[in-house]
Structure 1
Amino acid sequence: MFGSARTSLRTRFIAVAAAATVLSGGAAYYSSKTKKSPLTDYSHLSPAAALEAIQPREPDTPPRALLLDNLAKSSQQNPFDVLVIGGGATGTGCAVDAATRGLNVALVEKDDFASGTSSKSTKMAHGGVRYLEKAFLEFSKDQLDLVIEALNERAHLLNTAPHLCKILPIMIPVYTYWQIPYFYAGCKFYDLFAGSQNLKASYLLSSKTASEVAPMLDGANLKAGLVYHDGSFNDSRLNSSLAITAIDKGATVLNYTEVKQLIKEDGKVKGAVVCDTETGRTFEVRAKTVVNATGPYSDRILQMDNSSDGLPDSQTQDPNASITSEIAVEKPKMVVPSAGVHIILPSFYCPKNMGLLDVRTSDGRVMFFLPWQGKVLAGTTDIPMKQVPETPTATEADIQDILKELQHYIKFPVKREDVLSAWAGIRPLVKDPRTADKKGGKTEGLVRSHFIFTSPTDLITIAGGKWTTYREMAEETVNEVVKVGKFKNAKPCSTRLLKLVGAENWNPNLEALLAQKYGLSSRMAQHLADNYGTRAPLICESFEQNNINKLPVTLATNFKILSQHAAPADAEKVDTIADLHIIENEDVNPFDSFRYPFTIGELKYSIKHEYTRTPLDFLLRRTRFAFLDAKQALNAVEGTVKVMGDELNWDDKKRAKEIEDTKIYIKTFGV
């Protein structure tokens, strides 16, 4: 119900009346398609269950070297059942699904988990209100099925990782009276088609109440506010949680392992030549089935599949290309690339606990302004591209476009200097590469949902879709794996009710329990509870063991120990924070260092238990530091490298290179 204002009033009312007549008659049918809600009821948890949530349990995290050895052990006589290429949402989802079915699984990712599109989403678990409007206006069953599918999976996200995914009310400001019944009908149908999995009922606010809820809105012509509910989540942390869950279920999952060549035997793909990019060590990873789950970079693997020797097409690179302009795929056949840009603003740009939806952008798109991690996330754009860049970045024009749309609503000046961070991701819109040439590259071949196909070589490719539907995409992909690999003993899919790491024994009062047990501030307790769930006590225990671990990573290179009883700066125990002296550094303001709750203890935990291998892994994905405030994240680079270098035994040359590379990359985030 959220198209451009150019559609005539008469057309809108006719569409609403007709859609209401037809769709209300079919609502019972579609509601019956919604699967039983898996949402856990936490209302009757006992005090004993609450204490269970904060028991520190050291996970059995296999070291990276052991996982690499597992890759090396595969052979023609002892292959993996399935090799998944790609460590984003879909790839790690496939690894979890396959592992829980009893298959022997390997996953390789050339960079880090969620290093691409999976960390650059709008952070929403949603059915898609814009697809619902298309279903109304076009009487499209396909569009409606797309909404139903996503609404089913939205509930799964809230259940599988309740610490990472929360219900978020979103208000649509209404500025003309005729839009009130139109938007109201849309929100109510959105509730209706969620069936038993509806999160909360949508409702109408008067203009006065809407202005009180969102005082930053320009209320001069505001007629009402309509509120509906979706989910908000932390995408890259959910991605890494999927990777760790897959490992916990027996999968061999590795970041920084790049596929260099597909292994072909008798015209079938039987594995891949994989390189550990840290050491240069190469493996022949044999597998009965191979899944291409590389998202926007699917064409790169398909090029290898189309090659008789399994090697990729040569890429024509500009010798002067920078880190921001390298091309991953020059002529994609499957992916239809477009860049979606988001920016981060201070929290005063929207209500603390309610998002805003802009339905009247100048080019007809919808735009969200959402509270996220204590800031406001705004976006997104839709810029068509002819190539798939290796590292897409937000341009100044993209940033200004979002700010311009925001100014339509905000009653105070929207300033460029308020932009704390900005980034771009490649949308996963795809078309069938087997028919793309026949369609001449036109958009009628585009797939709005996900798309799975098996090539004549038995390479299984999954692409398209969105974060909200990753689990169903993975289920259907592994169904195809079972079929192609003839795995008769595979168990049924069980991921719909599966709890990810950090969600086991989770309690909605985890924040309070952590604050009480460990004497944490409310802010620190909330940060750890919302990002680590029931694994947060492990970080808290590190605070108890060594007070240095409580310090912000920014200060890791800016303190010394004054206590006569303490060892050097890497001491196992420092009795009190008072034993530490912050060294003056004109580049680092100690007050600013405590603005964000990202600590040395958290970094050490992520190295040991979440396979953090570079400073960017921690500053962008295990935490969201650079996404939230790129300038402050730049100040934390040296401290992050100091801790990581000590933990991973980096020499001075390695440390210097990591500092340089990390700063270059973070500077592309709108600063």
Structure 2
Amino acid sequence: MNRSTSLHALQTEQFDICIIGGGASGAGCALDAVSRGLKTALIERDDFSSATSSSSTKLVHGGVRYLEQAFKKFDPKQLSMVRKGLYERQTLLRIAPHLAHPLALVTPCKNWFAGLYFSIGLKLYDLLAGSRRMAPSRWLSKKEALQYFPAFSTTSFQSAVLYYDGQFDDARFNLGLAQTAAQLGASVANHCQAIRFETDEQGQIKAALVRDELTGDTFWLRAKVFVNATGTRADMLRQKANPKQATRMRASKGAHVVLPMSAVGPTSAALLVPETADGRVLFAIPWRGHYLIGTTDTEADPTETPYLQPDEAEYLIEHVSQYLAKPLTIDQVRGGFAGLRPLLQADPNASSKSLVRDHEVEIDGQTGLVSLMGGKWTTYRLMAEDTIDACCTRLGVSTKSKTDELILIGGDGYSPTFVQSLLSHYASVDPATVTHLAETYGTQANAVLQLIEETSSLAERLVDHHPFVKAEVIYAARAEMAHTLEDLLLRRIRLGLVDWRAAIAATPVAAQLLGAELGLTTTEVQRQQNEFVQYMQTCMEQAHPIKEERRITVGLN
């Protein structure tokens, strides 16, 4: 992706469709549209997956909680959501094999009745998946369960149920959608905000005034159809286009903590905590060499910037610890994050927990704005397909969606044998680095490794005890449209999620490399560095308040 090339096209060309919002739904819409032959633009006011889409529990799933609620409340909408999720789960694993893979999960059961209950429920989960089932669920004895999850306290459960779902890297998957759309011809740009709309004589939107948030420059972007895919902020854009539009969006906050793998120990399965005091299920899953625990579910303002709070961290640790031989402590938390789920409301008085994670495509008759609202990560592709179907109807186009077979960039040709061939070809590079790059970039890892071949110092790690290397900074700037340290360290390289202090320690080197590659001034590099460090400090202080003398300061070398 080249931002300068895209910006030139956005300013000078007429598009069939412009998608506003670069999260999973927006990037998914862009890929669906351009793959149908539509001239497509995608703009994002911050960065791709900078909000909800990078703050998930990293699971690709139908939703065992939704299945339980479907039967408890006789709710066909919840059941439909599970079916859709299970169908799409297999699609996501197939189109991005380097970023998504099967994950075994064990659910501890305190007595035989609980074992029977969850065993039957997860057999129904298997049944709903049909031919797309991963592997059959099984009721395990205590001895068998300990083989999958040795960290269990033997007195905390009587048996367990094993089942399978998917796991992925959400931010990099989102990036892959945008990259693949750009590869097919879409004009894609981050850090571009739609400020206001221009309408024709009939009141239909024909252009959007866009501000480049990196330079402050503004320009008009012209398209036949505009799509609002801004997640929890969808109402803001709907009402900017038409002030008479009623509020439709609610938000639910989901918080997560990240601990070192040593806190739990090596396991061959993740843990599903089947019930909490407030009726949720929690997950403790191995992810990127760490343990991720989530998630909470509390009402939130759709426009707020969410942070992990101390009570949320304690809540997560407490509920998981009840099943562990060695309980976790708040001091073991190294990272964490929180995000907002976009929930579509019919009843403004309903609890956010009771709202179904389904989606709706709305077309405003007065302005023509197409808004995609609600939904969840696993069903992003179906959401995009429904949205572009509606847009095609307006455009008089009959081409059908092709995205269920479209492999994302980095996935074509990826397999376990690819990793082995990469290790053989780059024998002079640390095997751990090669494996990390293969599992992060798929077949695009060759491009990162070629940078290392050209400049051997780029094989150096950004910080100790983490696999990220300097070459990734250069590649992110050149090929992945990373323009800020947040773009880089939170979403291209996930260091800022898993280890706050390590991210701060990596900041000086990362800032210098990124600044040199982008041609930034020393003043701009220092500004970005200060802002990123402050953001990491805020994340730490919000989650676990620290004394002033423990604050970390860094400067340019």
Q: Which runs of 5+ in 1 are unaligned?
A: 1-60, 311-331, 433-438, 554-592
Structure 1 residue 463 corresponds to structure 2 residue 373: yes
Structure 1 residue 648 corresponds to structure 2 residue 556: no
CA contact (8 A) 2:270 2:284 kept: yes
Q: Which residue of 1 aligns with 2:180?
A: 245
Change (3 A) 1:522 1:171: farther
Structure 1 residue 220 corresponds to structure 2 residue 183: no
Match of 1:607, SS state, is helix
In structure 2, what is the Cα distance between the partners aligned to 1:442 and 1:531? 40
In structure 2, what is the Cα distance between the partners aligned to 1:97 and 1:508? 28
Q: Which residue of 2 aligns with 1:31?
A: none
Superposed, 1:255-270 pairs within 5 Å as 255-265=190-200, 266-270=202-206
Q: Which residue of 1 aligns with 2:251?
A: 337
Q: Which residue of 1 aligns with 2:4?
A: 65
Cα offset, 1:415, TM superposition: 1.3
Cα offset, 1:101, TM superposition: 0.2
CA contact (8 A) 1:403 1:414 kept: yes
Cα offset, 1:250, TM superposition: 0.5
Structure 1 residue 492 corresponds to structure 2 residue 400: yes
In structure 2, what is the Cα distance between the partners aligned to 1:103 and 1:387? 31
2:127 is aligned, of 186, 192, 195, to 192
Q: Which residue of 2 aligns with 1:454?
A: 363
Q: Which amino acid aligns with 2:451?
A: S
2:307 is aligned, of 381, 388, 393, to 393
Structure 1 residue 117 corresponds to structure 2 residue 52: yes
Cα offset, 1:410, TM superposition: 1.4
Q: Which residue of 2 aligns with 1:607?
A: 477
Q: Which amino acid aligns with 2:138?
A: Y
Q: Which residue of 2 aligns with 1:634?
A: 504
Q: Which amino acid aligns with 2:442?
A: G
Q: Which amino acid aligns with 2:379?
A: T
Superposed, 1:586-605 pairs within 5 Å as 593-605=463-475
Percentage of pairs with the same residue = 36
Change (3 A) 1:546 1:448: closer
Q: Which residue of 1 aligns with 2:96?
A: 161
Cα offset, 1:139, TM superposition: 2.9
In structure 2, what is the Cα distance between the partners aligned to 1:333 and 1:353? 45
CA contact (8 A) 2:306 2:338 kept: yes
Cα offset, 1:350, TM superposition: 5.8
Q: Which amino acid aligns with 1:94?
A: C
CA contact (8 A) 1:458 1:484 kept: no
CA contact (8 A) 1:262 1:269 kept: yes
CA contact (8 A) 2:65 2:280 kept: no
Q: Which residue of 2 aligns with 1:365?
A: 280
CA contact (8 A) 1:512 1:525 kept: no
In structure 2, what is the Cα distance between the partners aligned to 1:100 and 1:259? 24
CA contact (8 A) 1:350 1:371 kept: no
Cα offset, 1:270, TM superposition: 1.6
CA contact (8 A) 1:83 1:271 kept: no
| Higher mean displacement: 379-388 or 601-610 | 379-388
Superposed, 1:297-316 pairs within 5 Å as 297-307=233-243
Cα offset, 1:623, TM superposition: 1.2
Superposed, 1:172-191 pairs within 5 Å as 172-191=107-126
Structure 1 residue 236 corresponds to structure 2 residue 171: yes
Match of 2:118, SS state, is helix
Cα offset, 1:407, TM superposition: 1.7
Match of 1:552, SS state, is coil
CA deviation digits over 1:34-66, x for unaligned, max 9?
Answer: xxxxxxxxxxxxxxxxxxxxxxxxxxx4x3211
CA contact (8 A) 2:21 2:229 kept: yes
Q: Which amino acid aligns with 2:188?
A: V
Query: After the TM superposition, which parts of structure 1 deviate over 6 Å for at least 4 consecutive aligned residues?
Result: none
In structure 2, what is the Cα distance between the partners aligned to 1:375 and 1:618? 19
CA deviation digits over 1:328-384, x for unaligned, max 9?
Answer: xxxx92221221001101114264331100012111110000111111110101111
1:532 is aligned, of 441, 448, 462, to 441
Cα offset, 1:446, TM superposition: 4.4
- Greater C-alpha radius of gyration: 1
Structure 1 residue 279 corresponds to structure 2 residue 194: no
Cα offset, 1:141, TM superposition: 2.4
Q: Which runs of 5+ in 2 are unaligned?
A: 542-557
Q: Which residue of 1 aligns with 2:453?
A: 544
Match of 2:226, SS state, is strand
2:494 is aligned, of 615, 624, 631, to 624
In structure 2, what is the Cα distance between the partners aligned to 1:656 and 1:443? 44
2:410 is aligned, of 502, 508, 525, to 502
CA contact (8 A) 1:92 1:239 kept: yes
Cα offset, 1:268, TM superposition: 1.1
Structure 1 residue 129 corresponds to structure 2 residue 64: yes
Cα offset, 1:302, TM superposition: 1.2
2:231 is aligned, of 288, 295, 312, to 295
CA contact (8 A) 2:196 2:241 kept: no
Cα offset, 1:306, TM superposition: 1.6
Cα offset, 1:537, TM superposition: 0.8
Cα offset, 1:131, TM superposition: 1.3
TM-score, normalised relative to structure 2: 0.93
Cα offset, 1:226, TM superposition: 0.6
Match of 1:472, SS state, is helix
Q: Which amino acid aligns with 2:275?
A: R
In structure 2, what is the Cα distance between the partners aligned to 1:440 and 1:159? 38
In structure 2, what is the Cα distance between the partners aligned to 1:396 and 1:446? 26
Q: Which residue of 2 aligns with 1:570?
A: none
Cα offset, 1:447, TM superposition: 4.5
In structure 1, what is the Cα distance between the partners aligned to 2:173 and 2:227? 21
CA deviation digits over 1:447-481, x for unaligned, max 9?
Answer: 53111111121111102111100001000000001
Q: Which residue of 2 aligns with 1:346?
A: 260
Q: Which residue of 2 aligns with 1:513?
A: 421
Cα offset, 1:387, TM superposition: 4.9
Match of 1:656, SS state, is helix
Q: How many residues align?
A: 536
Cα offset, 1:649, TM superposition: 1.3
